[in-house]
C-alpha cells in the first residue's frame, strides 16, 4: 500500500472563490445544475448549500456579524469527504460498493452500488447523497483516477491560496501543526486542528484548521461509528424476543393444560 494520502484544509486562508468546486465538477464530469434547475439560496453567496451526489466539494460561507453589522467576520471552509480511517459508510455498506484504496481513501464504486442509502444515514458528516444521474450514492473519491496516474486531486490543484493542500498524511499533519503554532503566536488563540489525530474515527484523512467550534462550521463535535449500537441493540432485541416468547407460552399453557396429550 502506498502511504496514506489526504487533504489538509487551512480555513483561515480560504477566500471563497469556489475554484475547488468548479475544478471538481469539471474533472469528475458532474452536472453543473440539478436537472436543469439553477437554485439560488437568496440569503448568501453560498448557493451550493451542502455536499451531495453532484457536489463533492462545497465552500461553506459562515457569516458572523453583530446585529448592527458594524463588526463581523466571514468563516470560509471548503468541505469534502473526510476519508475517515474508520469509515462509518464503508462499515454499513451491504453491497461492498464502498472500498478503501491503496491511498487509504474511501471510494464508492458506482457500478456496484444499488442505491440502498444506508451509507447516507451512517456518515456523521452528511457527505454522501444519491447522484440523480446514476441513481447511486456518490461523493469525493480523492480523485482516485488522478492519484493512480501520479497527479494530485483537481480541487487542491486549482486552489489559488493553498487553503486545500494535498500530500501524505504524515507530512500534512506536521505542516498543519506548524501553522497552528504560527497562528497562536500571532495572537489567533482559537486556531486548532479538527480530525488531525487518530482520536476522531481513527483519524480524518481530510482534516481542518479551524478558528471556532466545529458546530459553527457544521461539523459534528464528536462523530462516532454506527456500530456502537450494534451489540446493545441486538441484546435488547433478543431480550424482547425471549420475554414475548414466555408471554406466549404462559398464555397458551393457561388455556390448555393438557395440550401435549391432546395433540394428534
Q: Does position 202 bind another protein by CB under 8 A?
A: no
Show the cell assigned to 163.
487553503
Q: Does position 94 bind another protein by CB under 8 A?
A: yes
Contacts of residue 133, Cβ cutoff 8 Å, sequence gap at least 6: 31, 54
Find the shortest distance in angstroms from Cβ 86 to another protein: 12
Q: Contact 205/81 with Cβ under 8 angstroms?
A: no
Q: Contact 256/262 with Cβ under 8 angstroms?
A: yes
Please report, as residue ranges, which positions from 29 to 58 form the binding site for another protein (by CB under 8 A).
Answer: 50
Q: Does position 15 bind another protein by CB under 8 A?
A: no
Please tell me the chain's helix, strand, coil percentages from 3-state DSSP, rounded to the nearest 5: 35, 20, 45
68, 69, 111, 186: which one contacts another protein (CB under 8 A)?
A: 111
Site size toward another protein (CB under 8 A) is 70
Nearer to another protein, 187 or 262 (CB): 262
Dihedral, 259, 262, 263, 264 alpha carbons, nearest 10: 180
Please report, as residue ranges, which positions from 117 to 136 form the binding site for another protein (by CB under 8 A).
Answer: 117-118, 120-130, 135-136
C-alpha triplet 104, 107, 113: angle, nearest 5°:
150
User: Where does this chain bind another protein (CB under 8 A)?
Assistant: 50, 88, 91-97, 111-118, 120-130, 135-136, 213, 215-216, 218-224, 226-230, 232-234, 236-237, 239-241, 243-245, 247-249, 251-256, 258-259, 262-264
Amino acid at each position: 500500500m502506498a502511504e496514506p494520502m489526504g487533504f489538509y484544509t487551512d480555513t483561515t486562508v480560504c477566500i471563497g472563490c469556489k475554484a475547488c468546486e468548479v475544478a471538481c465538477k469539471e474533472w469528475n464530469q458532474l452536472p453543473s445544475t440539478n436537472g436543469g434547475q439553477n437554485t439560488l439560496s437568496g440569503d448568501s453567496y453560498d448557493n451550493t448549500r451542502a455536499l451531495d451526489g453532484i457536489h463533492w466539494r462545497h465552500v461553506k460561507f459562515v457569516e458572523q456579524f453583530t446585529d448592527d453589522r458594524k463588526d463581523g467576520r466571514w468563516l470560509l471552509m471548503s468541505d469534502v469527504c473526510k476519508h475517515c480511517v474508520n469509515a462509518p459508510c464503508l462499515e454499513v455498506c451491504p453491497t461492498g460498493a464502498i472500498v478503501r484504496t491503496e491511498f487509504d481513501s474511501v471510494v464508492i464504486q458506482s457500478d456496484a452500488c444499488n442505491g440502498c442509502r444506508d451509507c447516507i444515514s451512517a456518515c456523521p458528516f452528511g457527505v454522501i447523497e444519491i447522484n440523480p444521474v446514476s441513481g447511486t450514492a456518490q461523493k469525493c473519491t480523492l480523485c482516485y483516477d488522478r492519484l493512480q496516474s501520479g497527479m494530485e486531486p483537481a480541487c487542491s490543484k486549482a486552489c489559488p491560496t493553498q487553503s486545500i493542500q494535498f500530500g501524505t498524511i504524515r507530512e500534512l499533519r506536521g505542516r498543519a501543526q506548524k501553522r497552528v503554532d504560527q497562528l497562536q503566536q500571532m495572537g489567533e488563540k482559537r486556531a486548532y486542528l479538527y480530525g488531525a489525530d487518530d482520536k476522531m474515527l481513527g483519524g480524518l484523512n481530510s482534516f481542518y484548521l479551524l478558528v471556532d467550534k466545529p458546530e459553527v462550521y457544521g461539523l459534528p463535535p464528536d462523530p462516532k461509528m454506527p456500530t456502537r449500537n450494534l451489540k446493545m441493540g441486538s441484546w435488547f432485541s433478543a431480550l424482547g424476543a425471549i420475554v414475548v416468547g414466555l408471554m406466549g407460552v404462559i398464555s397458551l399453557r393457561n388455556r390448555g393444560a393438557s395440550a401435549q396429550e391432546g395433540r394428534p
